[in-house]
Amino acid sequence: MKKSKLYYGWIIVLVGALMLLFSSPGQTFSVSIFIDHYIEQFGWSRSQISSFYSIATLISGFSMPFVGKLIDSRGHRKSAVLISFLFGIVLVWMSAIRAPWMIFFGFIFIRMFGQGSLSLIPSVLIPQWFIRKRGRALSLISIGGVLGSALVPPLNNYLIENFGLSRAWIFWAVAMVLIMLPVAFFFVKNRPEDIGMLPDGIIGKNTEDRERESHDALPEEEVERSWTLSEAKGTRAFWLMLLATMVPSLVNTGITFHMISIISGKGFDSAFGAVILSITAFSQIPMTFLAGFLLDKVKVNLVKGFNFIFYAIIMLTLNFAGGTLVLMVYAVMHGTFMAFDSVSTGMLWSNYFGRKHLGKIRGLAVSFMVLGSALGPLPFGAAYDYFGGYREVLLAFMILPILASLASFSSPAPVYAEKNREVA
């Protein structure tokens, strides 16, 4: 066994981070900056636009298993190029929004290509390139998402205030086609085996040698077994972890989508709301590295279990925060939770079920996460219209991270049984 001096996997990490950054136009932290402007400009109610967003997100979620199959069958490179191109077209569509039906269809496709597909690709690409250093690699690509959530809200606010809604979307369309698409075309490579390597930079002479060295390179208990989707669905851990990974998507989307309104209800303007989103994002940077280091050493379900307990405390803090300092503390706490949640979710499916069928497995998992995103904004919007605020819905939603914590603690990695192997 030997390692190359320059491992291409670290280039893949940089590309994966860029993908997460460029998924931002389809993420709730980006879209949320547009919402109040749409309500003011077109006179739509908060419940109406929340319904559009929730239904559109739900529809887009059903496409993720198909995207996962596309990645497994066509490869990460072709999938990334195609999705970047289609995402650019949809962003041009968003610049022309004039009617409710237009924003509804726009929401469907920015969620499908941004929040779903362009986030899914790096989450299944990175585990192809790393096993022992998977936690560190996933923590590094998470920086792309962190930078997006930190920089995009204030950037969107600036673009809208100075150039208008349409040109703000055009900015992202041009950036998608001129930056993300060429990077995907020239730099994405599907697997280390395609260039004569193994995960973590091990060099093999041929396919048989590489497979043998892959097992020799790791202790027996760390050798990865690849489960089919059918096999994975036959385990209790698969379903409990699906439910657990839905919770942050549901609650975070609901809170983030209405963050400007939540902050306004506490007496602050939209600019401070964007600042809170940025603090949340920037606080993730150091915590992301800590999460990657810790998850290379501690079981992922234990990290998730304790992190969800912390999340319940965070929601309580937001609910009763009234001053600037407490809201900033909330933002730092929320950023810490999101860092550990992002890295642990990135590691979860590959650590539990291997690399070979990861696109299909992760595609179904992302569908559940998108389903959670779809369910989040509407109850928050309805609560605001009925109660005139968000206190009641935040208190009710605190039960979700508690349930997710219990699901995580009771879901260690399943043991692969060769005799139970099925054909995909």
Please state, in angstroms and as integers, the Cα–Cα distance from residue 401 to each residue in 316, 378, 396, 398, following that order. 12, 19, 11, 6
Angle in degrees, CA 365, 332, 132, rounded to 5: 45
Name the band, by pLDDT with cuts 50, 70 and 90, for residue 221. very low
Runs of H (alpha helix) within 258-357: 259-265, 270-282, 284-295, 300-320, 324-353
DSSP, collapsed to helix, strand or coil, labels residue 243 as helix
Name the band, by pLDDT with cuts 50, 70 and 90, for residue 284. confident
Domain ranges of the chain: 9-413
DSSP, collapsed to helix, strand or coil, labels residue 197 as strand
Query: Which fold would CATH assign to domain 9-413?
Result: Growth Hormone; Chain: A; (1.20.1250)
Helix or strand run (H / E) with residue 110: helix 100-110
The pLDDT tens digits for 316-370 are 999 888 888 999 999 999 999 999 998 898 888 888 888 778 888 888 887 888 7
DSSP, collapsed to helix, strand or coil, labels residue 202 as strand
Q: What's the confidence (pLDDT) of residue 210?
A: 47
Q: What's the confidence (pLDDT) of residue 260?
A: 80
Q: What's the confidence (pLDDT) of residue 422?
A: 46
Please state, in angstroms and as integers, the Cα–Cα distance from residue 163 to each residue in 22, 153, 157, 263, 409, following that order. 21, 15, 10, 24, 49
- DSSP assignment string, 11-26: HHHHHHHHHHHHTGGG
Q: Please say whether the beta carbons of 335 and 275 come within 8 A.
A: no
Would you say the pTM of this structure is higher than 0.85? no
Span 65-86, average pLDDT:
89
Q: What is the largest CA-CA distance in the chain?
A: 67
Distance in angstroms (rounded) separating the CA atoms of residues 371 and 23: 18
C-alpha count within 13 angstroms, C-beta hemisphere, residue 25: 31
